Amino acid sequence: MGGLIAAVETRPRTVLAAFLAVHALVWTALPAFLYYNLPLDVIEAMTYGREWQLGYDKLPPLPWFLGEIAYRLTGHDASLYALSQAAVIVAFIAVWMTARPLVGAAGALAALLIIDGMHYFNLSAVKFNHNVIEMPLWALVGFAFHAGLRQGKLRHWILLGIALGLGWWAKYFVVILAAPLALFLLLDPDARRRLTAPGPWIGAIVTLAVVAPNLYWLWQHGAQPFGYAEARAAAPSGVLDHLTHPLAFIGGQAFFLLPALLIAAPLFWPPAKPTAGPRADAFDRRIVTLLAFGPALTLFVFSLVTGRATNAMWGFPLWLFMGLWIVLFAPAALDRALLMRIGTIWAVVFVILVAAFCADYLVQPRYDHRYRAAFFPGDRLSEAITQRFQQATGKKPAYVIGSMWDGGNIAHYASERPQPRVLVDGMPDHAPWIDLADLRKRGAVIVWTEGDPHVLPPSLAAAAPGAQVGVPFDLPYHRGEGVVHVGWAILPPQTP
């Protein structure tokens, strides 16, 4: 081994910390400096998180809770971008912990460099949402599952139960991970032996205990969130969809994997003579193969059988262990030259991704005039609406009726505390925590930015009978030539 490999092996934590620091600093700073407005998913977190419900009409609440906590602690939007990177960093650390005993510190570093080439960990991870928070939990599940099978220690099975349970609170999509793990425990002869010990069963009990409050909420409120998930996975329109939908999923994911495969190329080309190095046994290889491909294969089979479409962004947590699998099955052990080549290609890909992000928000807006939520004048909209409501009623608004985007921006960027609460889409089913009697007593402002700004949309009018429509106004975007046409109305507070 060369000096570089020796340095990685002798000071693994220092090398890992340097990589994590560069990644986190760059991908926190870029949106903090280039975004003028929070993205939709983060506005959604700010709207839902502060209501502290055990469940919501769309998705489970864990990322919304975490977003609310981060913002309350700091009061700065940048903390929400940092929260995204914290999730990515925890995922990387869990993968590193899984990889290091199998392929050494140098191999673990190479595994991280490989997966960092995918946009899921950088370009797309700047927007904190349910997909991002899945990654650290899925990675912890993978670490705990491997450690539990190999070492049989109770603490690993408890960690597995906690991570799977929190994965349910993050996104119900976690069943795509849990299903292949359960099948592996039943079908693999070495894994099945662990079922004679209490560890896996205690892990299952811990999982059920963690998810129990949300299961109780679902029992009380019905399967509304699953209706949202079903709408995202479009039903087949014909028999051919049973083939085209899963193939479209595979094709899309293969495209997203290309930068990662490019980073991994030195492990396979030019062909190297096999060299002895840290290698796992057959059981380790089966576990890593399961972690690398099991969830993706499960989703593929689901689409094949049901004919339902998939969403490209569902790939966020699927490939966490792809880098480890590649390093593990590479024909030659890492040496200084290989690690240098992998690191060089990673650096080139990293710079390209950073340049692409900067170009998308600094250069392209001058030419493509495409809508970008990051330039939306949410702060100006909140100020304008608050001012108009206060002029009409002498008070600042306690409630906003509007879409998640319009209402959420007004609430988040409001200067007063507590912030106004949002009746999402004017539909009580979307915000059952809103007391409609209190809303009518204290009044509300109704806002819409789509359709005719002079006409109150019927969906919003139903929640605010007697609302008085105001004079529409326009607001320019923070950058570019876009203009927001704002319609608004006031539901006056009831006179005591």
Q: If DSSP states are collapsed to H, E and C, what string results for 323-369?
A: HHHHHHHCCCCCCHHHHHHHHHHHHHHHHHHHHHHHHHHHCHHHCCC
Domain ranges of the chain: 3-362, 376-491
Q: And the tokens for 198?
A: 């209490």
Strand 483-491 versus strand 468-469 pairing type:
antiparallel
- The two counts, helices (H) then strands (E), for the chain are 19, 6
Looking at the predicted structure, is the pLDDT value of residue 232 above 80? no
Q: Residues 307-352: pLDDT tens digits?
A: 998 888 899 999 999 999 999 998 877 777 888 899 999 999 999 9
Residues whose CB is less than 8 angstroms from the CB of residue 107 and which lie 6 or more positions away in sequence, other chains included: 99, 100, 277, 278, 324, 327, 328, 334
Q: Residues 38-63: pLDDT tens digits?
A: 999 999 999 999 999 999 988 999 99
**Among all chains, which residue has been given the structure tokens 């100020």?**
383
> What whole-number distance in Å separates Cα of residue 124 and Cα of residue 204?
32
Query: pLDDT category, 279, cuts 50, 70, 90?
Result: low
pLDDT (0 to 100) of residue 268: 87
Query: pLDDT category, 6, cuts 50, 70, 90?
Result: low
Looking at the predicted structure, is the pLDDT value of residue 26 above 80? yes
Looking at the predicted structure, is the pLDDT value of residue 157 above 50? yes
Single pTM value for the model: 0.94
Q: And the tokens for 470?
A: 């105001």
Q: Residues 353-405: pLDDT tens digits?
A: 999 999 999 998 888 888 899 999 999 999 999 999 999 999 999 999 999 99
DSSP 392-421: HHSS--SEEEE-HHHHHHHHHT-SSSSPPE
Looking at the predicted structure, is the pLDDT value of residue 89 above 50? yes
pLDDT (0 to 100) of residue 278: 52
Lowest model confidence (mean pLDDT) among 1-10, 187-196, 435-444: 1-10
Q: Residues 187-216: pLDDT tens digits?
A: 999 999 999 999 999 999 999 999 999 999
With H, G, I as helix, E, B as strand and everything else as coil, classify residue 136.
helix
Q: Do residues 257 and 322 touch, judged by C-beta distance below 8 A? A: yes
> What whole-number distance in Å separates Cα of residue 63 and Cα of residue 212?
18
Mean pLDDT of the 101-121 span: 95
> What whole-number distance in Å separates Cα of residue 424 and Cα of residue 407?
7
Helical (H) or strand (E) element with 490: strand 483-491
Looking at the predicted structure, is the pLDDT value of residue 275 above 60? no
Please compute, for residue 22, the number of CA atoms within 13 A of its CA located in the half-sphere on the CB side.
12
Higher pLDDT, 296 or 6: 296
Mean pLDDT rounded to a whole number for the chain: 92
Mean pLDDT of the 98-126 span: 95
Strand 444-448 versus strand 473-476 pairing type:
unpaired
Q: What is the C-alpha R_g of the chain?
A: 25
Looking at the predicted structure, is the pLDDT value of residue 1 above 50? no
With H, G, I as helix, E, B as strand and everything else as coil, classify residue 54.
coil
